[in-house]
Amino acid sequence: MTFSFEPCGDPVAANERAQRLIDPGFGRVFTDHMAMIRFSDAKGWHDARITTRAPIMMDPASSVLHYAQEIFEGMKAYRLADGGTALFRPEANARRFQDSARRMAMPELPESLFLESVERLVRTDQDWIPDSDGGALYLRPFMFASEVFLGVKPSAEYLYMVLASSVGAYFKGGASAVSIWVSQHYTRAAQGGTGAAKCGGNYAASLLAQKEAISQGCDQVVFLDAVERRWVEELGGMNVFFVFEDGSLSTPALTGTILPGITRDSILTLARAQGITVREEPYAIDQWRADAASGKLVEAFACGTAAVVTPIGTVALPEGRFTIGGGEPGAMTLRIRDSLVAIQRGLAPDANGWVHRL
Ligand code: PLP
Ligand code: COI
């Protein structure tokens, strides 16, 4: 299938674009274009195009608006040290998009089409990559059920799209440590549910817990398992790692209830290559508190495409708060972040073939 280029409006003027790129924040500054591919049971994948970013017409009976059959991805395009542009492990996002699609009874977009849609959009809009430290083009591929039908069944039609957004740091204040609230009432996922899929519904269900975290003066929510309400799972939009005084690292295992993060996988790979002992194992919230108090646990951090590697300084529970490493970013956390970012930006050797140059 060939992509057509069908702009239907004027791009933003260069001086206006420069203004918007000064302090873009996260997810508010969008580029000039977007990618679209349609799917129907009758025609398969068809009508691939890059077009001007604009509102889309939707029938109010489009089934995504009623039954939330929707999935998405998150990835970044970076400006490399030598002036080139690259995506980081986009093949992994393509495969996770297929995994999410299967779980949500949606058609699987071939990896080649996923990659081509993202590559074409980045090439078209690469002037929107901010030059600032930490700046990147955040890509948001997503797909939703577009059949006009109110019966509950997998849609016979879908629209796949990619948006691009110029971003800086996800958290205000960059890499200073964040605080997290341990959700008491609300859980994110149970065995057999959709926790390992990147579907919009998971995020809708997390919003009340995230709102509670904010009202408790925290930056993010962390979820516990749905059965024992004891085992740490992940944050609303990030995986979590623990660093111990013996220099080892642990993170919850992929048991089907957490998102298999690509940043998580990259950190495990880099840490193992550096000779760090890493464990994928359950870690209980009461253990976390005890280990932080005894000094056995010295650092904790959250990781994801948007958040990169963000130190966790404070953990809040109804019975009180505890801090980790005096609430300051830890040395291992910063080392891991720096080694990951150096590869993503073309400043360190790419031993694993993760940097996908455009
Ligand atoms: N967990 C959740 C719930 C997320 O939304 C994300 C972000 O995509 C992650 C973990 C981290 O995944 P990745 O590293 O692939 O961005
Ligand atoms: C990401 O890191 O890509 C995410 O999806 C997290 C959040 C923005 C939803």
How, if at all, do strands 249-251 and 278-280 pair?
parallel
What is the whole-number distance in angstroms between the Cα of residue 16 and the centre of ligand 2? Answer: 27
Query: What DSSP designation does 13 have?
Result: P
Whether 74 is in the pocket of ligand 2, judged by its Cβ within 6 Å, is yes
What is the whole-number distance in angstroms between the Cα of residue 27 and the centre of ligand 2? Answer: 10
What is the whole-number distance in angstroms between the Cα of residue 300 and the centre of ligand 1? Answer: 16
Strand-pairing partners, residue 279, are 250
Q: Which two tokens stand for residue 257?
A: 């209830």
What is the whole-number distance in angstroms between the Cα of residue 255 and the centre of ligand 2? Answer: 20
Q: Kindly indicate whether the ipTM for this predicted assembly is greater than 0.90, answering yes or no.
A: yes
Tell me if 59 sits within 8 A of 14, measured CB to CB. no
Please tell me the predicted confidence (pLDDT) of residue 174: 61
> CA-CA distances (angstroms) from residue 218 to 87, 205, 321, 352?
32, 18, 11, 36
Q: Which two tokens stand for residue 136?
A: 């990147």
> Nearest residue CA, atom 5 of ligand 2?
74
Tell me if 199 sits within 8 A of 71, measured CB to CB. yes
What does the alpha-carbon distance between residue 238 and residue 188 come to, in Å, rounded to a whole number?
12
Whether 24 is in the pocket of ligand 1, judged by its Cβ within 6 Å, is no
Neighbours of 43 (CB within 10 A): 10
Strand-pairing partners, residue 99, are none
Whether 304 is in the pocket of ligand 1, judged by its Cβ within 6 Å, is yes
What does the alpha-carbon distance between residue 163 and residue 154 come to, in Å, rounded to a whole number?
24
pTM of the shown model = 0.97
Strand-pairing partners, residue 300, are 242
User: Which segments in the chain show pLDDT lower than 70?
Assistant: 173-175
Whether 261 is in the pocket of ligand 1, judged by its Cβ within 6 Å, is yes
What is the whole-number distance in angstroms between the Cα of residue 239 and the centre of ligand 1? Answer: 6
For residue 168, give every residue at least 6 positions away whose Cβ sits within 8 Å of its Cβ, in sequence order, or none. Answer: 23, 24, 25, 26, 130, 132, 134, 135
Please tell me the predicted confidence (pLDDT) of residue 172: 73
Please tell me the predicted confidence (pLDDT) of residue 242: 98
With the most atoms of ligand 1 within 8 angstroms of its CB, the residue from 73, 263, 341 to mutate is: 263
What is the whole-number distance in angstroms between the Cα of residue 54 and the centre of ligand 2? Answer: 22
Tell me if residue 296 falls in helix, strand or coil.
coil
What does the alpha-carbon distance between residue 300 and residue 203 come to, in Å, rounded to a whole number?
23
Nearest atom of ligand 2 to the alpha carbon of 138: 3
Whether 139 is in the pocket of ligand 2, judged by its Cβ within 6 Å, is no
Q: Which two tokens stand for residue 316?
A: 């809040």
Which long-range contacts (C-beta less than 8 Å, at least 24 apart) are formed by 324-328? 324/177, 324/292, 324/297, 324/298, 324/299, 324/300, 325/298, 325/299, 327/177, 328/177
Q: What share of the chain is helix, strand, coil (3-state, %, to 5)?
A: 25, 30, 40
What is the whole-number distance in angstroms between the Cα of residue 133 and the centre of ligand 2? Answer: 19
Dihedral sign computed on CA atoms, order 16, 19, 21, 24: negative
Whether 139 is in the pocket of ligand 1, judged by its Cβ within 6 Å, is no
Query: What DSSP designation does 247 have?
Result: S
Ramachandran assignment for 153, one of left (phi > 0), alpha (psi -120 to 50 degrees), beta (any other): beta
